Amino acid sequence: MSARDAIFASIRRSLGVTGSEGPRVFEGGSRLKEAPAGVVPKRGQGDVKARVETFKAEAERVQASVCEIESLADAPAEVARFLRYNNCPASVRMAADERLNAMPWRSATSLEILHGPSDGHDANAVTMAFAGIAETGTLALVSGPGNPTTLNFLPDNHIVVLRKGDVVADYESVFMRLRAAYGKGGAPRTLNFISGPSRSADIEQTLLLGAHGPRRLHIVIAG
């Protein structure tokens, strides 16, 4: 028996209950289902177009670059353009996410595509976002075999593909989507919230990008 189980068993003994009584189970379930929603900021609310516009403005405010493309099929060309524009090596390490793998990467003939987690020596990485949060211009990225967390933090340049329909208004909406997508007990090990490139102003209050992670964050919104 774990320490947690021992504590709950002791509480049940003191109350003279087992925890499996019908009325108690019903009451506990009802409280969870009917819990009132907390206060949600108005910023970020609206239809898809309004959410995307707010997301773009907030993301750019924290030094991320953002562009919109017509469809996911246009992502490889945009990745190549971004690397070329910033004079970056034409090599990207890519997550094994099935949505990324379905994109026509062979059309971007100038790119060398690498796969698997990063060991810290990659200049560029491409990942797929679980959601974008309009309220703060933040990306929500989940971990898993197809999305190693190392790609989010180790390369110098992080390119994230975000579907327009996955831009939600607030953080509460992200957790609702997580529960719907993964179900009880199936949530990913890690959920990362990323707002702009890595930064620090610890030394003489001078803002330095890339202090603890990517120095550039480029968000490609497809829809």
Domain positions in the chain: 3-33, 48-222
User: What percentage of the chain carries pLDDT values higher than 70?
Assistant: 93
Structural tokens at position 55? 């997301």
| 64 SS3 class | coil
β-strand partners of 126: 94, 159
Mean pLDDT score across all residues of the chain: 89
Q: Which residues of 65-92 are buried (b: 16+ CB within 10 A; e: fewer)?
A: bbeebeebebbbebbbebbeeeebeeeb
Instruction: Please report which confidence band the pLDDT of residue 18 belongs to, taking 50, 70 and 90 as the band edges.
Output: confident
pLDDT digits (tens, 9 = 90+) for 92-139: 999 889 999 999 998 888 899 999 899 989 999 999 999 999 999 999
Q: Which CATH architecture has domain 48-222?
A: 3-Layer(aba) Sandwich (3.40)
Confidence band for 204, pLDDT divided at 50, 70 and 90: low
Higher per-residue confidence, 166 vs 44: 166
Rounded Cα–Cα distance for residues 125 and 114 (Å): 9
Three-class SS of residue 44? coil
